[in-house]
Structure 1
Amino acid sequence: MSFAQPAPAVPPYAPPRGGLTPAAKFLVLLVLAVLIAGYALAVFLTRGVWADREGIRLTLSVQAKDGWALSADTIEQAITATEVRLGDYGVADAQIGADGNDVVATFPRHGLDAEALKEMFGPGETKTLYVRPVIHAIPAKASPPSGINPTPAVEPAQRIADEKELRQGTNPSIQILALQYQATRCGNDDVLAGHDDPNLPLVTCSADGETVYLLAKSILGGDQIETAEPGTDSAGRHVIDLQFDNDAAQAWSDFTAANIGTQAAFAIDSRVVSAPVIRERIPNGGTQISGDFDEGSARDLAGGINRGASPVALTYSSSSDEKLPATMLSMLIRGAVIVSGMGVTVVVIGALVYLLRTRRSRPV
C-alpha cells in the first residue's frame, strides 16, 4: 500500500543577498528623479547669474569755478559730488574714478539712459545757502493792490542795488521799516534772490510766504558744506541732511552751544526755508534742513546746494553701454551651482551603477 508523498512546501520568494526589492529600486529611482528635478529647478532659478550685466560708462567733464583751479583735491571733490548725485537717483553701486580732468563712472543701468543722465548732470540750478541768526520775525501781510501806473523799467543791476540798500542796511530804524514793507511783498518774485551780501543783515521772507525775518549776517555759507543729501527724519518727513567741513563744524558747534533757545535761519537764494529753534549743542557738523518738501523737491534742492557749494562744475560729456563683471555674489552662486551639479552627477552615476550590478548579480 503506497501513499502519495505531499508536495514540498515552496519557500516564499526572498531577494538574493545583496539585492534590492522592486519597491526599493523604485524608491531609489524616485529619489534620483527628485534630485535631478531639484537641480534643474535651481539652475533655472539662478539663470540670471550667467548673463552679462548691462551697464553704463558715464564720462563727465570737470571745470573749475571762478577763483579755483583743478587739482587733485578738486578732482576728488568732483568724484564725491558724482557719487552723491548718482546716489540721489538710487545708484549706490557705481565705480567712480578720475581719467585726467574727467570723472568716469561705471554702474548697472538702473533704467537710466543718455537723456536721463544729461538731465542729471546738466548745468542745473545752483542754490546759495547761508545760515543766519534770526533777530526778529513778523507775519506777512496781504499784498496791496497794484497801482494803475506801470513801474518804469529799471536795469536788473540797479534793482538789486536798490533792494540791498533797503533790505541790507545796518540802521535799526531802516531795518524796521524794511521789515514792515517786505511783509507786503512776500507773494512777489524776489529781485534780490541769490544776490544778498552774507556780511550784512538781511530782511527777507520765508519760502512759504507767511513770515518775514530780520536776519543777522551769515555765520556759515554753502561753500563750507561737504555734502547735502535728501533724507527723512524720525517722523518720515522729507529733509535735507547737511554735513559741514571741519572748520564749519566747529563753528556750528560753538554757535549752537552759545545760542540755545534762539532761532537760526537757513536761507537759500535769500529766502528762509527753515528757521528752527536751537535746543542743544550740535556737534560733528551734521544738521538738517526741514521744510515743506516732497521727495523730488528735497532731491532737487540738495542737488542745487551741492552744485553751489562745489568748487567745480560737472557736465555730461558722453555715455556708452558697458558689460560689467559679475558681482561677488554672482560668482559664489555660479560656483555653488557647478559644485552642486558635480555632486548630483556623481550620485546619479553611482546609484545607476549599483542598480545595474545588483541586477546582473541576481541568480537565475
Structure 2
Amino acid sequence: MPPSKGTGHPLRLLGVYALLLIVIYGLVYFTDAKTAAAKLGIDLQGGTRVTLSARTPDGNKPSQDSLKQAQQIIESRVNGLGVAGSEVVIDGDNLVITVPGQNGQQAKSLATTAKLYIRPVLQSGQQAAAGGLPGGPTGNTTPGLPLPGMTTPGTATPGAATPGKATPAPAPGAQKPSAANHAPQNRVFPADYQVPLAQDLNHQQAPTTPPTTPKKPTPSTTPKATTTPKPGTPAPTSAAPASTLSPAEQTKKAIADAKLIRQSTNPQIQQYALATLDCSKPDPLAGNDDPNLPLVTCATDGTGTYLLDKSRIDGQDIKDASASLDQQQSQWSVDLSFKHSDPWAKLTGDYVNQQIAFVLDSKVVSAPVVQQGPQQGGTTQITGHFNATTAKDLANQLKYGSLPLSFATSEAETVSATLGLSSLHAGLIAGAIGLLAVLLYCLLYYRMLGFLAGFSLVASGFAVYGIIVLLGRWINFTLDLAGIAGLIIGIGMTADSFVVFFERIKDEMREGRSFRSAVPRGWSRAQRTNLSGKTVSLIASAVLYILAAGQVKGFAFTLGLTTVLDVIVLYLVTSPLMMLASRSSFWAKPSVNGLGAVAQYARERKAAAGVPAGKEA
C-alpha cells in the first residue's frame, strides 16, 4: 500500500531535523565561541544571598502587607535585570534574595532602593574626590522627548549654573530661598561651630561666629565638670546616655538628628548643611527623609551635593522606564512615562532651564536640566553620556517606583556550589543510568528497533542541550537541579512515545499485515495517541510554571521544553527512521525487529480463519 500522508519522503524529514541541529549549534558557537556550556543555577554554580532588614521611620515592626508588596516589587526589579533562577522570600521581618552567578551586587542595589521622589534642585555643588573633582555635563531636553538627563545613571550631575548667568529663582508655588540659599558653596564656618540640635532650628537665626565664653551657670544648675557642655555643642536630645540606647533607639535618634540639620527650612542652616555634609560617610537618612521638607543630600557617587525643594512627584507615579538607542545619533537615553500627566507638565513648566532631581533613598541618581516646558502627555526622555549598561541601570532604578518600606542589608553571603556540583554529578549519573536502562529494555524487547529509539533519544538530547545554552544567553535561563529532573523525566516520556508507536505496529501485524504495511498504519494510529498525551503534559507544565515559584519553575520549563521537542523528534526522526526500516529487507527479518512471535500469531490466526498464507486482511 502507498505510504500515509507525511511519510513519503523520510530522508527529507531527517534532513530538516539535521538542518535544525546545524542552525542551533551554529548559533551556539557563533554567538559566543568561548564556551558552549549551559548557564547554571545557584545550586550548581553558586551565587549571592542577601538578607534585607525592613526599617520603619518610627522603629515599629513592619506589617505583613507591606512586606508582601515589597517582595513583589523587588522580584520585578530583580527579574528586570534578566536574572533567571533568582528568589525573593519573606523570612520573618526580613526579605532574603538569592541570585545565581555574578549578579548579586546589582540585584542588591535594586533591592535596597526604597523611596523615590522627584524634587526641584535649589542649589548644587561638588565635593572633592580622589583624583580631582569628577563631574559631567548635564543632559539636554527637547519637546516631545522632554526630559534630559545625566552623564551616568546612578551618578548625579553636579549641575553648576551657566557661567555669566544667575541661578534662576524657583517658580511660583515652590519654596523661595533667601539670598543665603545662593551663597557660595565654599562658605567657611568656624571649626568648632556646631548647630544646637535641641533647639527649634527652623525658627532660630544660626550664629555666624562661635560663642567664645559660655554663660556662667547658676549654682543650682551647675553640672559636674565632666559634663559641662563645650561652647556651641548640641544639647542632648535624650536624657538617656547613648551607651544605654538600644540599636533601634540609636537609629531613630540618628535619623532625627539628621533631619534637624539636612531638612531644615532655615536658609542659614541649609547652607551650613551643604558646607559640612560628608558624602563619604553612611547616610542615616537613607530612605527616611520627609518628602514635604527641603533636603540637603549627595549624589549616589558622592561627588555632588544638592539643596532640594520638597517633593513634587512621588516615584509611584512613574508608569514605565526603558533604555533606548537613537540610531541616528548613536546615543542612549532613558524614556519615562507617568501615570498622570498633569503633575509632570506643571513641574516642567515651573522649572524650565533648571535642574530636577530623581532622588532614590535620599540620594540623587539623576539631576537633568529641563530644556523646555511644560511637557504634556506624561512622557519624557533623559539624555546624557549613557551607554547601554548605564541607561538600562537607570531605567531599572526608576521603573519600579517606590517600596513601601526602607531596607538595610543585614547579611550578605556568597553561596558555595560544592553541594550543588555533587548533586549535579549524582543527577547526571542517575540520568545516564536511566537512559541506559531504557535503551537496554528497548533492545531486549524490540531487538534492533531499540537502536532506532536510542538514536532518537540522542538526537533529542542534542537539540535540548543546544536550546538550553542559547536560552541561557538570550533570556538568562539557568539550569538547576530541578531543571535537570525535568529533563530526565522528559527522557522517560520520549521513551513512552516509542513504546506506543511500536505497540501500534504490533497491533497491525496481529491483524495479518506485513511489517512494511504495518509501520505506516501503526504510525497513523500512534500519532493521535502521542499527541493527546503530549498535550496533557504540556498543559500541566504550563500550569505548574504559572503557579509555582522558585526552582519548581525550572522543572516545569524543562519538562515543557522536552515535551515540545519530543513531538518534533517523533515527526522528524522516529517516524522517518521507521519508514526507512519498513522498506528494508534486513529490518523486516523477525530476528532483527523482534516481531517474529507477532507474525507467527498472525499466520496461525489466518490459518484458523481459512485465509491463504501471505494475503493481508
Q: Do 1:159 and 1:191's aligned partners in 2 also have CA atoms closer than 8 Å?
A: no
Q: 1:227 to 1:90 in 2, by over 3 A?
A: farther
The alpha carbon displacement at 1:217 in A equals 0.9
Pairing of 1:136-147 with structure 2 (within 5 A) = 136-137=123-124
Aligned to 2:311: 218
- Per-residue CA deviations over 1:110-153 (Å, capped at 9, x if unaligned) read x937x97799579964454332112344559898999998x989
* Residues 290, 249 of structure 1: alpha-carbon distance in 2 compared, 3 angstrom cutoff: farther
Alignment counterpart, residue 363 of structure 2, candidates 271, 279, 293: 271
**Distance in 2 between the 1:104 and 1:188 partners?**
27
Q: Distance in 1 between matches of 2:581 and 2:89?
A: 51
What amino acid is the match of 1:200?
A: L
What residue is the counterpart of 1:132 in the other structure? 119
CA contact (8 A) 1:79 1:103 kept: no
1:84 corresponds to:
77
**Corresponding residue SS for 1:309:** coil
User: What is the distance in 2 between the residues matched to 1:335 and 1:130?
Assistant: 52
Could you tell me whether the CA contact under 8 Å between 1:74 and 1:312 is conserved in 2?
no
Contact 2:119–2:310 (CA under 8 A) maintained in structure 1: yes
- 1:193 & 1:291 partners in 2: Cα distance? 29
Which of 335, 338, 363 is equivalent to 2:570?
338
Q: What SS does the aligned partner of 1:81 have?
A: helix
- Partners of 2:124 and 2:305 within 8 A in 1: yes
Match of 2:611 in 1: none
CA, structure 1 residues 145+89, in 2 after alignment: closer, same or farther (shift >3 Å)?
farther
Name the SS of the counterpart of 1:337 in structure 2: helix
Per the TM alignment, residue 285 of structure 1 is displaced from its structure 2 partner at its CA by 6.9
Alpha-carbon distance change, 343 to 292 in structure 1, aligned in 2, over 3 angstroms: closer
Change (3 A) 1:295 1:118: closer
Q: Pick the aligned partner of 1:112 from 100, 107, 115.
A: 100
Question: 2:291 corresponds to which letter in structure 1?
Answer: P
SS in 2 for 1:169: coil
Structure 1 counterpart of 2:264, from 165, 169, 172: 169
Unmatched runs of 5 consecutive residues or more in structure 1 = 1-30, 106-110, 357-364
1:262-301 pair list within 5 angstroms: 262-278=354-370, 279-280=372-373, 281=375, 283-284=377-378, 295=389, 299=393
1:202 match: 295
Provide the secondary structure at the position in 2 that maps to 1:265. strand
Shift of 1:339: 1.4
Structure 2 residue 481 is the aligned partner of structure 1 residue 321: yes
- Cα shift at 1:332: 3.8
Q: Is the 8 A contact 1:137 1:212 kept in 2?
A: yes
**Residues 43 and 131 of structure 1, relative CA distance in 2, 3 Å threshold:** closer
Distance 1:104 1:47, change over 3 A: farther
Shift of 1:178: 0.6
The structure carrying a bigger helix percent of its residues is 2
Structure 1 counterpart of 2:81, one-letter code: D
Q: Which amino acid aligns with 1:214?
A: L
Instruction: Tell me by how many angstroms 1:221 deviates.
Output: 3.6
> Residues of 1 paired with 2:386 and 2:17: CA distance?
53
- CA deviation after TM superposition for structure 1 residue 82, in Å: 1.4
Which structure exhibits the higher relative contact order, with contacts defined as CA atoms closer than 8 Å and separated by 6 or more residues?
1
- Deviation, structure 1 residue 275: 1.6
Distance in 1 (CA, whole Å) between partners of 2:303 and 2:94 is 45
Contact 2:356 2:368 in 1 (8 A): yes
Q: CA RMSD in A?
A: 6.3
1:309 matches 2:469:
no
Q: How many residues align?
A: 305
Distance 1:284 1:124 in 2: 27
| Partners of 2:52 and 2:112 within 8 A in 1 | no
Separation in structure 1 between the aligned mates of residue 123 and residue 105 of structure 2, nearest angstrom? 43
Structure 2 letter corresponding to 1:252: W
Say which structure is richer in strand. 1
2:78, 2:111 within 8 Å by CA — same for their partners in 1?
no
- CA drift of 1:273 comes to 2.8
Shift of 1:216: 1.3
**Aligned pair in 2 of structure 1 residues 167, 233: CA closer, same or farther (>3 Å)?**
farther
Alpha-carbon contact 1:202-1:215 (below 8 Å) kept: yes
Query: In structure 1, what is the Cα distance between the partners aligned to 2:24 and 2:568?
Result: 13
Q: Please identify, of 121-130 and 211-220, the stretch whose mean Cα deviation from structure 2 is larger.
A: 121-130
Structure 1 counterpart of 2:263, one-letter code? Q
Q: CA offset at residue 199 of structure 1? A: 1.5
Q: Do 2:120 and 2:310's aligned partners in 1 also have CA atoms closer than 8 Å?
A: yes
Q: For residues 76-115 of structure 1, what are the alpha-carbon distances to aligned partners after superposition, in whole Å with 9 as ceiling and x for unaligned? A: 6633531331331432x989999xx99999xxxxx937x9
